[in-house]
C-alpha cells in the first residue's frame, strides 16, 4: 500500500468564494413569500439573517465574492486540506481508475461544516450581532458553529433534536466544551417547544421543530440572528473553498477529474466540491460528470419531484423551488443523520433539472461496506454521510475495471466517523439493515404539495 498527498500552502487558500448562480444560464427560481406568493428580496431576510449573508443568498450576478481576511485567517487553522491519491483503495479494487479524495475531515471539528460556520459567525459579528441561534440534528453543524461563535465572541444557543441530545452525548459535549448552550428540542424555552411538549410530553423532537425553536428565539432576542448549515445558497457559496483548492491540487497531480462526487443531504459539501469544477462545464462546455450520492432511504434527487416546498417540516420558511420528497416526509432513522433532509437547495435543484449533474442513491449496508474497505486501505474511518460518496466512487471505479477504461474520479471526504463508532458497532454486529422505500410512501407526501402554489 502506498499513498500520495497533494499539499498546498496557506497562501493557496482561495481569496474569493465561487458563486455559481452568476454563471447559470437558467437561474434558480426565486424563493417566495408563502402568503403572497411574491418573490422575496434580500431585505426581506434581514430580520432573520445577517445582512451580508442575505445579500449573498440572493446574489445571481457576481461570480466571485471576496473572502474577508478575518475569515481566511480562521481558515488557516486547518486549511488548505490535503488532496489524496487513494492508491490503497485503487489496489484493493484492482481498477485502472485513478481515485482522489479531498480530505475535509482534518478540520478541528472533523468535517467541512466549519467552512460556512466561520463565515456566518464573522458576518454576524461584523454587523454588531451579539447572539446567534441554530439547530442541529446529529451535531456536526452545531459543533462547527460552536467553535466559530466562540472564536468571534458570539453567544450561541443550539437546539439539538432531543433523541440525538441523549443518543449522541459526545457531540453535545463538544459543543459545550466550545462554550455553546445546548438545549434539547422540544424545550420549554420557546412557544413552539412548549406547545409541542404540552401536546406530546414524550416527543423526542425533529429537525423541523428544532428549526422553529431556533428561529423563534432569534426573532425574540435583541441583536440576535439565526444561522443554518446547509440548503441555502450562501452556505453552498462558502463551501466552494473545497473545490477551488481541489482544482489546484488536481493540477499538481497532473490530472483533471472525469467524475466529481459528493454525498448529498441539503447540498453543502456536494456543492463545495463540485461547483468549482462545474463552472468549466457551464462556461467552457468541459466534459465532466458531477454526481450527488444520496441515501436510498431519502432519495429526493433520484425519486423526488421538482416543486415549490417549505424548507422545514412545520412550514415556517419561505417557499423554495426544490427537488423534494415533501416537507412532511419522515426519512428512516439511518446513521447518516446529516443526509436525512427532504429537499435539495434551489441551485442544485435547477442544475439537476437542467441535466448538468446526476444523482445516485446508495443503500445503507453498501455505505458501511464501502466505509470499511476505505478505512482498511486508506486508514481513515469515514463519517456515515461521507461513506455515500465513497460507495459511489467505488461503483464508478468498478465500472472502469469492467470496461477497461482509465478514468479519474474525485470525491469529497466530508468528515471522519470517530464520533459515529456506535453505528460501525451495529454494522459489525450484523444489526443494521437497508430501508426499502415504496413509491406509495413517496407519492403520499408529494401529493400534499400541490396546494402550495
Positions in the binding site for its own copies (CB under 8 A):
1-5, 7, 9-10, 73-74, 76-78, 84, 88, 106, 108-110, 147, 150-151, 169-171, 173-174, 176-179, 372, 375-376, 378-381, 418-419, 421-422, 424-425, 428
Shortest spacing between CB 331 and its own copies, in angstroms: 24
Taking the C-alpha atoms of residue 156 and residue 133, their distance in angstroms, rounded to an integer, is 6
Q: Which of 258, 272, 269, 248 is nearest to 6 (CA)?
A: 248
Between 235 and 380, CB nearer to its own copies: 380
**Cα-Cα-Cα-Cα dihedral sign, residues 270, 271, 275, 276:** negative
Between 9 and 202, whose beta carbon lies closer to its own copies? 9
Least CB distance from residue 138 to its own copies, whole Å?
Answer: 14
Nearer to its own copies, 47 or 379 (CB): 379
Q: What Rg value do the Cα atoms of the chain yield, rounded? A: 21
Report the nearest approach of its own copies to the CB of residue 259 (Å).
Answer: 23
**Which residue, 215 or 380, is less far from its own copies as judged by CB?**
380
Instruction: Give the other-Cβ count within 10 Å of 22's Cβ.
Output: 16
Q: Which is nearer to its own copies, 171 or 225 (CB)?
A: 171
Closest contact distance (angstroms) between CB of 83 and its own copies is: 12
CB of 306 to its own copies, least distance (A): 39
Q: Decide if 244 contacts 272 (C-beta within 8 A).
A: no
* Strand 131-136 to 98-103 pairing: unpaired
Choice between 180 and 389, CB closer to its own copies:
180
CB of residue 212 vs its own copies: minimum separation in angstroms? 28
How distant, in Å, are the alpha carbons of 190, 206, 348 from that of 209?
11, 5, 25
Q: How far apart are CB 87 and its own copies at their closest, in Å?
A: 9
- For every residue of 252-268, DSSP letters joined together read HTT---SEEEEE-SSSH
Select 7 or 453, whichever has its Cβ closest to its own copies: 7
Least Å distance, CB 238 to its own copies, is 17
Give 185's Cβ-side CA count (13 Å radius): 31
CA distance 343 to 266: 7
Q: Which is nearer to its own copies, 143 or 298 (CB)?
A: 143
Backbone angles phi and psi of 309, in degrees to 5: -150, 165
CA gap 300, 437 in Å, rounded: 12
| Nearer to its own copies among residue 42 and residue 106 (C-beta) | 106
Tell me how far, at minimum, the Cβ of 12 lies from its own copies, in Å.
Answer: 10
Burial class (CB in 10 A: 0-12, 13-18, 19+), 227: buried
Contact criterion met (CB below 8 Å) for 124 and 50: yes
* Least CB distance to its own copies at residue 75 (A): 9
DSSP-derived pairing of the beta strands 83-85 and 98-103: antiparallel
DSSP string, 45-79: HTTTS-HHHHHHHH--S-SEEEPPHHHHHHHTTTP
Residue 327, classed as helix, strand or coil, is: coil
Residue partners of 323: CB distance under 8 A and separation at least 6: 300, 301, 304, 305, 306, 343, 344, 348, 349, 352, 353
Q: Which is nearer to its own copies, 164 or 271 (CB)?
A: 164
Amino acid at each position: 500500500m502506498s499513498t500520495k498527498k497533494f499539499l498546498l500552502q496557506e497562501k493557496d487558500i482561495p481569496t474569493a468564494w465561487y458563486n455559481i448562480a452568476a454563471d447559470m444560464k437558467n437561474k434558480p427560481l426565486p424563493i417566495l413569500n408563502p402568503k403572497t406568493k411574491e418573490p422575496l428580496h434580500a431585505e426581506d431576510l434581514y430580520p432573520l439573517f445577517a445582512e451580508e449573508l442575505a445579500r449573498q443568498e440572493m446574489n445571481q450576478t457576481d461570480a466571485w465574492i471576496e473572502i474577508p481576511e478575518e475569515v481566511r485567517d480562521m481558515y488557516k487553522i486547518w486549511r488548505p486540506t490535503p488532496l489524496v491519491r487513494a492508491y490503497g483503495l485503487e489496489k484493493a479494487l484492482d481498477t485502472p481508475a485513478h481515485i482522489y479524495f479531498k480530505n475535509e475531515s482534518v478540520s478541528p471539528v472533523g468535517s467541512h461544516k466549519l467552512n460556512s460556520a466561520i463565515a456566518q459567525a464573522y458576518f454576524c459579528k461584523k454587523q454588531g450581532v451579539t447572539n446567534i441561534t441554530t439547530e442541529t440534528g446529529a451535531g456536526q453543524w452545531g459543533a462547527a458553529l460552536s467553535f466559530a461563535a466562540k472564536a468571534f465572541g458570539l453567544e450561541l444557543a443550539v437546539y439539538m433534536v432531543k433523541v440525538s441530545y441523549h443518543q449522541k452525548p459526545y457531540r453535545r459535549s463538544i459543543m459545550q466544551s466550545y462554550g455553546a448552550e445546548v438545549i434539547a428540542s422540544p424545550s420549554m424555552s420557546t412557544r413552539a417547544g412548549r406547545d409541542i411538549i404540552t401536546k406530546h410530553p414524550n416527543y423526542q423532537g425533529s429537525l423541523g421543530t428544532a428549526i422553529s425553536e431556533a428561529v423563534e428565539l432569534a426573532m425574540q432576542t435583541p441583536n440576535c440572528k439565526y444561522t443554518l448549515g446547509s440548503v441555502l445558497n450562501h452556505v453552498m457559496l462558502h463551501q466552494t473553498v473545497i473545490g477551488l483548492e481541489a482544482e489546484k491540487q488536481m493540477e499538481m497531480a497532473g490530472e483533471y477529474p472525469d467524475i466529481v462526487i459528493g454525498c448529498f443531504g441539503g447540498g453543502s459539501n456536494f456543492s463545495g466540491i463540485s461547483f468549482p469544477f462545474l463552472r468549466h462545464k457551464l462556461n467552457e462546455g468541459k466534459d465532466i460528470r458531477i454526481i450527488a450520492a444520496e441515501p436510498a432511504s431519502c432519495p429526493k434527487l433520484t425519486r423526488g419531484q421538482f416543486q415549490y416546498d417549505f424548507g422545514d417540516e412545520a412550514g415556517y420558511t419561505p417557499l423554495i423551488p426544490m427537488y423534494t420528497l415533501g416537507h412532511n416526509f419522515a426519512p428512516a432513522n439511518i446513521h447518516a443523520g446529516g443526509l436525512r433532509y427532504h429537499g435539495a437547495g434551489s441551485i442544485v435543484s435547477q442544475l439537476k433539472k437542467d441535466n448538468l449533474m446526476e444523482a445516485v442513491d446508495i443503500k445503507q449496508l453498501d455505505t458501511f461496506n464501502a466505509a470499511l474497505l476505505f478505512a482498511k486501505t486508506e486508514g481513515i474511518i469515514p463519517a456515515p454521510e461521507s461513506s455515500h460518496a465513497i460507495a459511489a466512487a467505488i461503483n464508478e471505479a468498478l465500472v472502469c475495471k469492467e470496461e477497461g477504461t482509465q478514468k479519474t474520479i474525485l470525491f469529497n471526504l466530508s468528515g471522519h466517523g470517530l464520533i459515529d463508532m456506535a453505528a460501525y458497532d451495529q454494522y459489525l454486529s450484523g444489526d443494521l439493515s437497508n430501508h426499502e422505500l415504496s413509491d406509495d410512501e413517496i407519492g403520499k407526501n408529494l401529493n400534499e404539495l400541490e396546494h402550495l402554489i
